[in-house]
A and B are shown apart, each in its own frame.
Chain A
Amino acid sequence: MGSHSLPSASAADAVAKLAAAEALKSTAASAASAPGSSTETASGTAQGASAAGDAGAVTVVPSSDTPAVAVDPEVEAEAYERANVHNVYEAIAPHFSATRYKPWPAVAQFLHAQQPGYVGLDVGCGNGKYLGVNKNTFMVGSDRSANLVSHANERVMELQKPQQQQLLPEAEVARAQTGGSKKEKKQKGEVPQADGERESEAPNAVIGKETVREVAVANDVLVADGLSLPFREGRADFAICIAVIHHMSTRARRQEAIRQLLKCVRPGGQVMVYVWALEQGESRRGWDEGGEQDLLVPWVLKSQQPKPKKEKQPKPRKQKQKRQQQQMQEQEQVNTPMQQQDQSSSEPQEAIAAESVGEKEATPTSSSTLSSSSIPKDTSTAIGGGTGAGVTEPASADADAAAAAAAGPDAKTDTGGVAANADPVFQRYYHLYRKGELEEDVLAARGAVVMSGYERDNWWVVATHATNDDSVQT
């Protein structure tokens, strides 16, 4: 269609219009790049913890709704997750976010394998650490925690800021221009900043030399529940869901979450799911095969930020481990898991739990400190049509580090008992996946396993639709 569209006329108008809009909203624009204050949350939680790192402001997890009156198991499951997952992340968002910066290798690899122009989803994006890893894709991150999303939004704004370093040799600038916009190029010939992220893929280009450079970053974020996603079905090229579904308290809900993810991607589109493993023989947590799978894992909210770790300074895990190993041991005791259930005969592995697992004794405590833990119960099992609202959580990409962070450097938190130091402890519900379980869930969600693996205490899987009929747009 030679006479293509976007007649300059209308286009020009559009630009003018935008300019006007810009003038009008200049303030809004700047607001956007500023640390967003979060929008309200459904559960109306700890709003006190806004953007910056005022973790100290948060003290207790509001356990607002839902009296523990048993009724619909699904409703109960939601309530449980609200108290033991959603509210917790809302409250620890700043601290949590400050500890998340480095992408898991398997995830980064998956993202880099996506083609230029692909549209991807990051369900449970947390602070958005996976947005922008592959700069040639358009990614929309979602998370149930409005506070975490506001952090993610800051990241998006930061990522899309025009880079100021120009150092492209003339020649290169010239070459770059062949493909299109020159101005942009010139003023911001950016330099490949190589912090942590590797731009391995050599995208198949469409515009010759352009591909060599990393150019604009296109990402967006929104607040949504993983079981009620606002994404059009079958439109995304790929999706990731990292360290999220292990926070869902019934197997039916976890499988439904995977099903929802699959629905979002086109035929042939791939979904990567990453969850905490039960088998953590290498770690000092003491969890391993045969242990309890449904646990409450404490997060100690340091009253003072552990240190301004930023994304820029990825910290080698090993080092960290070494350093904090001791503390971690103490921090990570698992407390009360949820209890089991009888009702559903169906999920053996989910059931039961009551004892603590960790290497240390269970901290009696924490539970007493947090109101949240008191609420739920009995939700652990299944049933539930798997839908419902609530869940999808955070993107804690690595739960591991999370815990580590909890034990932050300056933390000499002690163990066992809660409180010697005033740092509040929050319990997050986790379902630790045993070997093979994630694949089972994919199949139950009517998906097919493309590949799967284990990486640092986590199981991951790349799934696609069971019936493969590639077509659509590739």
Chain B
Amino acid sequence: MKVMTLNFLTCAVKNCKSSNDSFPLHPKEAELAKDDIEINPQLLINVLPRIDWAALRTTSTELGFPTLPEQPPSPEDLQSDEALLKELHELLMETQMMEGKLVCGHCGHEYAVKNGVANFLLPSHLV
């Protein structure tokens, strides 16, 4: 489960979809790993506007990383700043949550993450 992916996930429970508390999901007891992935500048620069930066800041902080700046870098920033690009790549693409739980801030349901894969199947009473 990449940090990038977390930026696009919310609780699978229908009633939670409309709640602001269901996003982002909160990592709990997270064990992280870092993959070695080749950087794709074109992808990153284009993906940047699709990211909910505020949520990314939250996730990043909750995972124990230093606080991200309030504003996202601009595409120009990324194009001209190689180091910045690389950092973003490391955070979004290379950082993996291998184990732990993802908790919905609205209903409190916890989704297990095992071997890097999150399981969003709901118990029948939550469907």
Contact = CB atoms under 8 A, between A and B. Distances in A.
Contacts of B89: 216
Contacts of B38: 160, 162-163, 184, 188, 190, 215-216
A10 B72 CA distance: 14
A231 B73 contact: no
Contact of A21 (B33, B70, B115): B33
B4 to A, nearest CB: 6
- Interface range on chain B (Cβ under 8 Å from partner): 35 or more
A472 B41 CA distance: 23
B116 interface: yes
B108 interface: no
A6 B84 contact: yes
Contacts of A218: 2, 4, 37, 40, 43, 47, 93
Contacts of B122: 42, 225, 228, 389
B10 interface: yes
Interface of A: 1, 4-11, 13-15, 17-19, 21-22, 24-26, 28-29, 31-32, 36-42, 115-119, 135-138, 140, 142, 144, 146, 149-150, 153, 157, 160-163, 179-182, 184, 188, 190, 203, 205-207, 210-211, 215-218, 220-225, 228-233, 235-237, 387-390, 473
Contact of A216 (B66, B67, B93, B120): B93
25 contacts: A5-B72, A5-B73, A7-B69, A22-B34, A25-B98, A32-B98, A37-B115, A117-B47, A119-B8, A137-B43, A138-B4, A150-B117, A161-B36, A162-B37, A184-B39, A215-B38, A215-B42, A220-B4, A222-B1, A222-B117, A224-B120, A224-B121, A228-B121, A230-B111, A232-B9
A231 B10 contact: yes
B119 A207 contact: no
Nearest to B94: A18
Contacts of B66: 9-11, 13-14, 17
B55 to A, nearest CB: 9
A58 to B, nearest CB: 20
Nearest to A473: B49
Q: B2, B46, B60, B118: which has the most chain A beta carbons within 10 Å? A: B46
Contact of A17 (B65, B81, B116): B65
Contact of B117 (A36, A118, A135): A36
Contact of A119 (B31, B44, B47, B90): B47
Given A4-B71, A4-B77, 8 more contacts: A18-B94, A138-B43, A163-B38, A180-B79, A181-B85, A210-B41, A222-B9, A222-B118
A223 B122 CA distance: 10
Contacts of A216: 37-40, 43, 89, 93
Contacts of B123: 42
Interface of B: 1-2, 4-5, 8-14, 17, 23, 31-50, 52, 60, 64-75, 77, 79, 81-91, 93-96, 98-99, 111-112, 114-124, 127
B85 A228 contact: no
A206 B85 CA distance: 14
A153 B127 contact: no
A36 B114 CA distance: 9
Counting from the closest, the 7 A-B pairs by CB-CB distance are A117-B46, A5-B69, A216-B40, A215-B40, A4-B77, A29-B33, A224-B120
Contacts of A40: 119
B82 A28 contact: no
A283 to B, nearest CB: 34
- The CB with the most chain B CB atoms within 10 A, among A8, A32, A211, is that of A32
A221 B117 contact: yes
Nearest to B37: A160
B73 A206 contact: no
Contact of B8 (A135, A160, A236): A236
B117 A11 contact: no
B5 A220 contact: yes
Contact of B5 (A14, A32, A222): A222
Contacts of A14: 60, 65-66, 87, 90-91
